[in-house]
Amino acid sequence: MSDTAAAPAKKLFLLDAFALIYRSHFAFAKNPRVNSKGMNTGAILGFTNTLVEVLLKEKPTH
């Protein structure tokens, strides 16, 4: 048996931001999310929600 403890597993996620933003844009196309200035923010909302979900669910180390 080894006296050294096993190193904890490291997690790294590589996200295709363009694909997520593109998908989010069209997901909110029929029901757009707009800010106080009337700018469509659906793509930003969808991308941010996906990113937060991955961070909280998977807990990457990097």
pLDDT tens per residue, range 3-49: 677 878 899 999 999 999 999 999 999 999 999 999 999 999 999 99
17-27 vs 42-58: helix crossing angle, rounded to 10: 120
Q: What is the pLDDT of residue 5?
A: 76
Query: To the nearest whole percent, how much of the chain has pLDDT over 70?
Result: 94
Residue 21 CB-density burial (10 A; 0-12 exposed, 13-18 middle, 19+ buried): middle
Torsion of CA 26, 28, 34, 38, to 10 degrees: 40
Tally Cβ neighbours within 10 Å of residue 14.
5
Q: What percent of the chain has pLDDT over 90?
A: 84
